[in-house]
Structure 1
Amino acid sequence: MLLAIDIGNSNVVCGLSDNNHWTEQFRIHTVANKTADEYEVIYRTLLSSRNIKLEEVDKIVVSSVVPSLILPIREMIKKLFGKEPLVVGPELYPKLNIGIKNPYEIGTDLVANAVAAHNKYKGNCIVVDFGTALTFTAIKADGNLLGVSIAPGLKTAMASLSQNTAKLPNVDIAVPPSCIGKNTTHALQAGIVMGYKGLVEYLLKEIKSELEGDTRVIATGGLSKVMLPVIDCFDHHEPDLTLDGLKIIGNQFYKQ
């Protein structure tokens, strides 16, 4: 059984794969100062509650965009499973089936997204990941990861408004009834959700023109499901794309 751990800025998302299928998934809030012992208690409890025996997990792959959590998660894995995890990073990239121009700058989650997209769809791809940051990752048909566009995520933008103004609250990200808000909540949702619709559609048009040729657009990330009803230029919705990429990377390296 393979355990994939995706450490993001907001959540740590984990998936257990058996016979190449996800059998369990769970997520916990990212807390940058948690210790290995605290994570050990959390993971032991989560796995036990799902009747997963520790010895059943024989492959572990980790991606992190939070550098301070790599060490405690690594130590937790060694304590709990008695083995070193495969940590995705620049030293692995030359062995992947994608090309990366700036390996020390790109997030490992975006590399996992690119690996999964290229593996599934082969041709030109753009992965739009609706997370803490909103990212657009461009992958050529030959596997070259050309680059990335980054904007604040929807929740990040909403939280920034709330934190930097006296009267605007932090409201849920949801599709408003109209682009003209009749109250503060709907006004914020109109500006963020419908404004981001325009941002996403425009950036996709520009990125497609630079990629040239037919291009598939894949939506992923925690808030992708909110945006699907208002953006009609997605070809695929892959909520588990990052975990899928980690699974592909893990299976590749554990075979060697």
Structure 2
Amino acid sequence: MRIGIDIGNTDIVIGVYDGESWIHHWRTPSQRNRPEAAFNEIVKNLFLENAFEIESVESIALSSVVPDLTQIIQNVFESLVGLSVVVIHPENIEKLALGDVINPYQIGSDLVCNAVGAFDRFGQNTIVVDFGTALTFTSINDQGNMMGVAIAPGVRTAMKSLSANTAKLPEIPLEIPNSVVGTDTISAMQSGIMQGYVGLVRHMVNETKKHHAHPPKVIATGGLSFVFEPLHDVFDEIDVHLTLNGLLVAAEKLR
């Protein structure tokens, strides 16, 4: 068994891989003010509730874009499992030979894992669309090098910003309405943001393809990737586990 941990700005995702599939997939909020003991209890309970045998763990890998939580989560898993955690950080990102375009001290390790996972999956130039806290578009060339990234606010981020900064607008379900013409406040917000993001993604993918030498594969990931059904014709594949897959591949390369 191998454990992959992806610490994002919204959630910490923990996955357990048995060599063929992710048999466990857990989430807990990335609360920066939560003490290490609390995280320790959460992870311990996840193991107990799922009858998970710690003795079966062979390796642990971690990606984090929240520096305040990196060492805390590393400590939790090393103390519970008794193995050293391979952490993806700027110094070892350079060892992954992803090209000269990316500054390892500025790029998020989640984007690095997406790139590694996509190239491992397709073995050719690829665009990764990640529907996370931020909406990101990562380009990889035929050599597995990162060509560059585009970043926009994530769908939830945009929705929460609109609700928080406008007195009369509520938080709403992330669902795509049947019409772009909203007939009430909720459907109007759903139309503007959800339908708007359909157009944003289509445009960005089409423009990004122009920077590739030949037609790239397009893969979507992130928790909301399945919500945008009108975009499914844009993607060659949807893989919610892409970041974790890439994390395990990267960790093996570093070993």
Place the TM-score, normalised by the shorter chain, in its bin. over 0.9
Distance 1:124 1:150 in 2: 19
Secondary structure of 1:174's aligned partner = coil
Residue matched to 1:73: 73
For 2:106 and 2:40, the matched residues in 1 are separated by: 30
Cα deviations across residues 158-190 of structure 1 (Å, max 9, x unaligned)? 111111111011101111010001111110010
Q: Is the 8 A contact 2:130 2:222 kept in 1?
A: yes
Instruction: Provide the rounded CA distance (Å) in 1 between the counterparts of 2:149 and 2:208.
Output: 10
Unaligned runs of 5+ in 2: none
Q: Contact 1:129 / 1:135 at 8 angstroms: preserved in 2?
A: yes
1:126 and 2:119 are equivalent in the alignment = no
Is the contact made by 1:123 and 1:140 (CA closer than 8 Å) also made in structure 2? yes
Aligned to 1:226: 227
Deviation for aligned residue 1:20: 4.0
Partners of 1:180 and 1:190 within 8 A in 2: yes
Check whether the contact 2:94–2:104 (CA below 8 A) recurs between aligned residues.
no
Could you tell me how far apart the structure 1 residues matched to 2:33 and 2:83 are? 23
Aligned equivalent of 1:31: 31
Tell me which residue corresponds to 1:50.
50
Secondary structure of 1:229's counterpart equals helix
**Alpha-carbon offset, residue 131 of structure 1:** 0.7
TM-score normalised according to structure 2 size? 0.95
Which runs of structure 2 are paired with 1:235-254 in the superposition (5 Å)? Answer: 235-253=236-254
Aligned to 1:13: 13
Letter in 2 for 1:52: F
CA distance in 2, matches of 1:145, 1:250: 18
The alpha-carbon deviation at position 22 of structure 1 amounts to: 1.5
Q: Structure 1 CA distance, aligned partners of 2:46 and 2:244?
A: 18
* Distance of 1:219 and 1:127 partners within structure 2: 6
Which segments of 5 or more consecutive residues in structure 1 lack a partner in the other structure?
A: none
Alignment partners' CA distance in 2, 1:168 and 1:180: 17
Q: Extract structure 1 runs of 4+ deviating beyond 6 A.
A: none
Q: For 2:15 and 2:157, how far apart are their aligned partners in 1? A: 25
Moved more, 149-158 or 205-214: 205-214
1:137 positional shift? 0.3
